[in-house]
Each structure stands twice: as C-alpha cells, then as structure tokens.
Amino acid sequence: MSLSTVLTEKTVAVGLVARDKRGVIEELLDLLVKAGAIADKSSALEAVLERERAMSTGMKYGVAIPHGKTSSVSSLVACVGVSAEPIPFDSLDGEPSRVFIMTLSPPDKTGPHLQFLAEVSQLFKSEEKRASALAAKTPAELLSVIAI
C-alpha cells in the first residue's frame, strides 16, 4: 500500500479553511464526497468522531491522522489537507496541527488500514517532508511531496 495508490489531486487540498477539529474533519470528508469515495458523509463523520472520542489522532510535529471504520466505503480511502493556520487537535505533544491525513476503511478490513497508518506515520517523521507539505501551493505540489 502506498499513498500514491489511494490519493489523487481530488483528494488533496492546500489552504484548509476550517479552524477547529470538527471543521477540519468535515472539510476532509467533503473532499472524499466530491471525489465519489464515500457513500454517506454523516456515517463517515460519526465513525471519525467516535475514534476521536476514544483517543485523539493528533500526533506530533503538527500532524494529525483522523481515521475511522465505516460501511460507507468499500475499500480504504484517504485524503490529505494542509492548513496555513495551526489548528488545535488535542495532539500528543500538545501542539496544534497543520497537516491532516484522513483515512476511512470498511469495518471488516484491518490490514490495509494499519499499513496505511504506519506508512503515513513514517513519512511525516521527516522534518523535510513536513516542511515541503506545508510549502505546497497546489494540490499537485502537495501530492508530489507525499505520494511515495
């Protein structure tokens, strides 16, 4: 599983406008809806929010990986958004986030979901990758930074 197999320019956004956790999650879900990747936004939203209630997906270094399991997708789907402004996301290091990678997968498929989360976590350990993602001006630029 690589990011380039699940991401397209339609599922990558720079300049997110939301300014809070729920807003970011909804904005990312809108990307997936517009791309035709999810059938039911409200079901997907509830899955991600349920996961957030269990434990925040705000990681370290300004990166958050909201995710969930939902029957509104038939296989793993993902999107990425970058915000010019730091957004509070209850992160592990207490810092706000600017890079958001969302993934949704069906409840019965765990392997691809875990593999994706591990790959994303590894990718954004690199300060250079994070800086390049934040500097991207277009979805195409962002995609070229993160699609490995």
Q: How do strand 77-87 and strand 97-105 relate by DSSP bridges?
A: antiparallel
- Report the candidate in 39, 20, 75, 19 with the shortest Cα–Cα distance to residue 29: 39
Given 67, 69, 113, 130, which residue is catalytic?
67
Q: Facing residues of 104 across strands?
A: 68, 77
DSSP letters of 103-130? Answer: EEE-TT--HHHHHHHHHHHHHTT-HHHH
67 among known catalytic residues: yes
Active site residues: 67
